Structure formats: C-alpha cells, structure tokens
Structure 1
Amino acid sequence: MDTIQNRISAFIELGKFLSQFTETNTIQKDNIQFNDLFFDGFNHQLKISEENNRWFTKQNLMFAIKSWSEALTKENIQQWVSSESLGNNNSKKVAIIMAGNIPLVGFHDFLSVLISGHAVLVKQSSNDKHLLPFLAKYLEYVEPKLKGNIVFTEEKLEGFDAVIATGSNNTARYFEYYFKNKPNIIRKSRNSVAVLTGNETKQDLENLSNDIFRYFGLGCRSVSKLFVPKNYDFDAFFKGMYNQHEIINNAKYANNYDYNKTVYLMSEFDILENGFLMIKEDESYTSPIASIFYEYYDNIDDLKIKLWEDREKTQCVVARNCIESEIAFGQTQHPQLWDYADSVNTLAFLSKI
C-alpha cells in the first residue's frame, strides 16, 4: 500500500543521494541506496546539463543540488507536510509546465505533487531537461510504487486533472485561457528587491551580492532592483559587490554585459558601473542581465505601501529590520520547503483537487 510515509522516505533517500555531489569534493558514499546504479550516471547528467546550457555552470549546478540535499531531510519534510491533510487524497494526475531559468527550478512542484499522493505529468523546458528525469528514475527504484506515477512528455498535455504552470507574463495569459477549466496554479514573472537604508554593514552588502549574482540573476528570487534613500552613496554598495568580480570571466555573462552597456550608452542613459555590474535608475522591477535597477524612496512608510501594491511583481524583499516579511541579506537563494513561490501554498492546492 502506498502511504505518505513511504513517499517521505523516498525523498529522504534522494536527499542523501544528492548530498554526495559538491563543487569541491564529490565522493561516492557507502550507505546510499542504489548508488552503484546511479552515482556515475548522475555525474554524467550534470556534465551534460553544463554543456547543454552555459548558464548552468558547475558552481550553480552544485549549489542547486546542495540546496535540495539540505532541504530533503526527515525533519524538514515532516514539518512541511504536517500543515496539510495529505494522507487520504484521491490520486489525480497533475500536469506541471516547468521553467528552465535555473537548475531544477521545477523540482518543488514535482516534489509537492508526488508527496501529496498524486501522479505527475511533466513538460520540461529544453533548457533544463536532463537532471529531473534521472532523479525520477532514482525515486522509482527507492519506492517502486511511484512507477507509473511519473511521466515526462514533449507532446501536447492531455488527460490531466489539474495543472501547475510557470512562465513569462505573456505565456501566463495563454496558460490562464488554455487551462481555465482545470484547477490550476499559474505563475508569472516575478523579481526580488532589496531595500537599503545606508546603514548596512560591509557584510550585509557582501551577502547581498549573493542574492544578486547567484544563477547570474536569472532566478525569481534573484535581486534585480534596489530601493535606496535620497542621496544614497553607492560606493559602499559597489564595494560589497566586488567579491563577485570574477563573474565577468563567464563568456555568456560578459557578452550580456557588453551588449547591455552598449544599449545604455547609445540611448544616453545615466548608468554607474564597475566593470561587471551596471546600475540604472528605473521604475521597472525586471533588469537585464549584468544590470540592477534602482529607485529612490522618500520614507519607509511610503515604500511599504508601494511594495504592498506591487506585491504580485515581487518574490522576495531583502532588508534589515525595516520591512514586514523581509528576508535577510544573502538568504534569498535558501528557501525552505514551506517558502512557496508567489506565496501560493502548493500543498493546500493539491490537497483540495
């Protein structure tokens, strides 16, 4: 009989399997289930992923793997699922349309569907199509009752009961129309912001550099916009960013930096830059690669109102002791299982379909 405890145990084993793969010291451990079948193969899939998508550097791949290995512990999973009644769900087939902006970006939805006792029909992005099918096969070995409940397709989605789809604002409009007759979660583009007061420490700003540069800024939890007080001195900000200066050695990033700098200069925009990051005053939340937008605020209370009104555009707000539900500097890329994208509780949705 398939039980939630069996499914929890399978993902705990997956977490142990992933814990072997690190940026500096990948070593095969003795106590991992089915390691002889999967260890070398997963190393190969990581290599293929890096070759297939040059944004997926070894550093970023391993960061994503490490994050999931740390999330998939018995304590974390049990704390997460305890908030919902998942034990008696009638199994449905849930389609997931995944983005491909960062490695394994759709894994949380995949995990949520299976842990809820449903079957999953996955349509992956061509940018991130190698890792998840391999990990799904590992799960089927650990928990054979999952076989038949995990299907990947490149064809038109058919025969599903509910859908979770992630895309751009344009594709989201299409999803909303196309899936209007099915229970759904439709996610649009979001960005993360940081609120600076001028009182940040050197460590705060160095931590912020991780929120900005991890995954080259391609994630929805990546900070792409700063709110700063009038007359803010950006010298301290740029000093805090400097420990990321080697990012310009990545060819794709450097090409984007050069291109966007040329566009800004030809358009005669005022920008500040340090050789690997440009900042530009702009009200938009979505900044191009290698650039950050900033906007001045008069007082924190007015800014709080603006952020509340624009809450559907933002994923995370990074600050220190000035904004409700703020995230600490350096922590945007370390979400817990219960930190839901777009603040939509996926488990609650899956428990009711």
Structure 2
Amino acid sequence: MERKAIIEVFGQLRKSLNAVIANDEWPGYTCGLTEEEFLSFKKMINKEFQLNPWFTKENCLKALGGIVHLLDNESLTTFSENYQFTSKPKLVALIMAGNIPFVGFHDLLCTLLTGNKALCKLSSSDSRVPLRIIQWLIQWNPELKEYIQVSIGPIKNYDAVIATGSNNSIAQFETYFGHIPHLFRKNRTSIALLDGTETDDELKALSSDCFDFFGMGCRNASKLYLPTGFNLNRIFENFLDQQHLINHHKYGNNYDYNRTIFLMNQIPFLDNNVFMLKEDEGIHAPLSVIYYEFYTNQEEILAKIEGMKDELQAIVGHGFIPFGKAQAPDISDFADGVDTCSWLNSLS
C-alpha cells in the first residue's frame, strides 16, 4: 500500500467528520457516507454518555473536531515527508487509553503513515466510536484491512507496542511487553504560566485549557503559576463559562468529595461552587480542583518548570501554547515529547 492512498483515505475521514460535526441532518453523498451511516453515527455520538457518562455529546464532537484538525491533506503530506515509509511493515500493538474520546487516534495515524500495521486494543471506556471510524477507513480503502486490526481479546503476534495508561499500569506494561520494542506513556499533566498581562479573553480561553473534557486529559492545565499579587478573582470571573460542569453528576460527585475532604482536614481553598482553587506546590490536582502557586522571579520559575518537564505534557502561556489551544495539538505535537514516527521508523 502506498502512503498517498493512506493520506487520501484520511482526507475522506476529515470530510465525513466535518459533515457530522456541522450537520444534524444528512448533507448528501458528498460527505462520503450514506444517509443510514450518517444518522447511525450521529445517534451513536448522542448516546455515548449512556455507556460512558464522561463522553457527552459535546465532548465527543469536540474530540472529533480535534481529529479533523489533524487531517488537512497538505499538512499530512508535508508532515509525512519527514519520515520513511517502510517496505517491511511491523505489526504495532496500540494499547489505547479511554480518558477522552479516541485519544489513541494520533498513534494510529502515525503507525499507518510510516507504513506499519496497527493492532488496536481499544479501551473498554471508548470502543464504539473508534471502531466505527476504523470500519469506515477499511470500507473506503479495502487494502487497509491488511493494515488495521482490532483485538477483542488478548493481543498476540505483534512486533512492537505503544501503550498509554496510568502510572500503576506501567509495571504491568513492563511485565507483558518489556521484552519487545515499546513506547510506554504514563500519567502526565499540564500547567499554565501567567505573567500578569493576560487579557480577560485569554483567561476565558484558559478555562477551556483547564476544563475541556472535564479536565480529564493530560493536556488539561491542572496547575497555574501566577505572578505575586495576581488577583485570583480574575480566574473565577473569567471561568464562568464552565458553570455547566457542576450539573454533570460524576463531575459534581468529584467536586463534593474533594470539597468535603478539604473541609474535614481544614485545608484552605477558594471556591465558586463549580471548582476550587488550592494553593499547592503539586502539579497533579484532583478533578474539580486547580492548584496555583505564586512566583516572584520568572527566570527561577522557568528553571523550576524545566526541572519537571518529564511530568508535563503541555505548558500554556505567553511564549508557549496559546491560551485555549492546549486540547488542539498539531500533528507534530507528540505525546510526552517523543517523536512517535521516528520511533516507528527505528523498528525497520
């Protein structure tokens, strides 16, 4: 199979997903889907929350928009030219996480663009939408049937592994997959570094960086570094668009639990009945909580951040990722800063 054909089929996926995001009714065959396929997928998106309450319709559509962002034909072509397309494909097992919808898509994309084959082990928390998308890809280009497999049971006969999970699962990954070429990803989080010149619009965009997908992604900013004297009321005032979060029962349960823990242990915090701000040197804040820390010297705080880069996925702020873009990575924004395509090329 040629790389050009792979890029073309992903271009078709971009067109179809764009149609799903933009239309409630079937827009016609130009979207690449029959009316039945289109409406069935829309129905699936609308009902995902019944299987996984975190996967609301809004979050599913947001995740699909992130996939569309990756699949510009020209960008895909330019990006893929930086890597070899192997003539001896390896079967790469992709152990996908399930914290946000189809979070493993980038790994699938990189695997195919380098000419390798993907053995997808979907998360039990996120299986229906990824499976449907994979079915479309194979339907549009039947050659992909030899390049994409989905494993229902235990995976076997693979040549390499890309596995994403929690810190606790890394030990299991090492046990099962440590003897073959592997790329393991554990828990990371993201931070925002503010310098005090941020506009209200930038702070409103920061609220998305913190709370898109309920704050469950590794690219969500869970810690704010603020210049001494920063008015914390500006955070609460500009995060008002997130008030809807508290109406979600699972998010609300996390909020109630963490608030109760803080109160029982007499831990100081600030609260707006939607989320809490807690002054803390840590960077891994629990759901519904944002940690913050004041700094006086920017050079010192930059040095501190550099020292914790192995724990960070993204940094938001002036000179870093623009506010509001943490959950909209470009195709070259590799997880954990490891070039997935270069690693895949090394397998040949």
TM-score over 0.5 for the pair: yes
Amino acid at match of 2:109: L
Residue 286 (str. 1) matches residue 293 (str. 2): no
Aligned length: 347
Q: Which runs of 5+ in 2 are unaligned?
A: none
1:336 counterpart residue number = 330
2:184 counterpart residue number = 186
- Aligned CA RMSD, in angstroms, stands at 1.6
Amino acid at match of 2:215: G
Deviations 1:139-164 (A, max 9, x none): 11111101132222232221100000
How far has the Cα of 1:8 moved from its partner?
Answer: 0.8
C-alpha distance in structure 1 between counterparts of 2:287 and 2:57, whole Å? 19
Match of 1:123 among 117, 121, 124: 121
**Residue pair 1:91, 1:119 contacting (<8 A) in 2 also:** yes
Residue 101 (str. 1) matches residue 94 (str. 2): no
1:346 counterpart residue number = 340
Q: Which runs of 5+ in 1 are unaligned?
A: none
Deviations 1:63-112 (A, max 9, x none): 111221232121121122121122x3311100011110000101111111
1:262 counterpart residue number = 260
Question: How do 1:134-149 and structure 2 match up within 5 A?
Answer: 134-149=132-147
2:148 counterpart residue number = 150
Residue 72 (str. 1) matches residue 71 (str. 2): yes
Deviations 1:157-183 (A, max 9, x none): 211000000011111132134322211
Change over 3 Å in CA distance of 1:26–1:223 after alignment to 2: farther
**Residue pair 2:26, 2:39 contacting (<8 A) in 1 also:** no
Between 66-75 and 20-29, the greater mean CA deviation after superposition: 20-29
C-alpha distance in structure 1 between counterparts of 2:97 and 2:174, whole Å? 16
Deviations 1:188-230 (A, max 9, x none): 1011100122221111110100101100000011010111123
C-alpha distance in structure 2 between counterparts of 1:180 and 1:246, whole Å? 43
1:207 counterpart residue number = 205
Between 291-300 and 11-20, the greater mean CA deviation after superposition: 291-300
C-alpha distance in structure 2 between counterparts of 1:37 and 1:81, whole Å? 34
Deviations 1:17-46 (A, max 9, x none): 111122774543331334346212322332
Task: Please give the secondary structure, in 2, of the residue aligned with 1:270.
Answer: coil
1:233 counterpart residue number = 231
C-alpha distance in structure 1 between counterparts of 2:147 and 2:83, whole Å? 21
Amino acid at match of 2:146: G
How far has the Cα of 1:50 moved from its partner?
Answer: 2.2
Between 278-287 and 92-101, the greater mean CA deviation after superposition: 278-287
C-alpha distance in structure 1 between counterparts of 2:317 and 2:80, whole Å? 29
**Residue pair 2:98, 2:125 contacting (<8 A) in 1 also:** yes
Amino acid at match of 1:75: E
C-alpha distance in structure 2 between counterparts of 1:239 and 1:29, whole Å? 43
Taking structure 2 as the reference length, the TM-score comes to 0.95
Amino acid at match of 2:112: L
Change over 3 Å in CA distance of 1:119–1:20 after alignment to 2: same
1:41 counterpart residue number = 40
How far has the Cα of 1:267 moved from its partner?
Answer: 1.1
Amino acid at match of 2:342: A
Between 343-352 and 211-220, the greater mean CA deviation after superposition: 343-352
C-alpha distance in structure 2 between counterparts of 1:312 and 1:28, whole Å? 45
C-alpha distance in structure 2 between counterparts of 1:265 and 1:194, whole Å? 26
**Residue pair 1:220, 1:315 contacting (<8 A) in 2 also:** yes
**Residue pair 2:26, 2:38 contacting (<8 A) in 1 also:** no
**Residue pair 1:216, 1:253 contacting (<8 A) in 2 also:** yes
Amino acid at match of 2:190: S
C-alpha distance in structure 1 between counterparts of 2:183 and 2:285, whole Å? 25
**Residue pair 1:284, 1:293 contacting (<8 A) in 2 also:** yes
C-alpha distance in structure 1 between counterparts of 2:273 and 2:28, whole Å? 42
How far has the Cα of 1:273 moved from its partner?
Answer: 0.8
Between 296-305 and 40-49, the greater mean CA deviation after superposition: 40-49
Match of 1:165 among 163, 166, 187: 163
**Residue pair 1:94, 1:119 contacting (<8 A) in 2 also:** yes
Amino acid at match of 2:65: K
C-alpha distance in structure 1 between counterparts of 2:63 and 2:14, whole Å? 12
Amino acid at match of 1:19: N
Amino acid at match of 1:71: L
How far has the Cα of 1:297 moved from its partner?
Answer: 2.0
**Residue pair 1:94, 1:164 contacting (<8 A) in 2 also:** yes
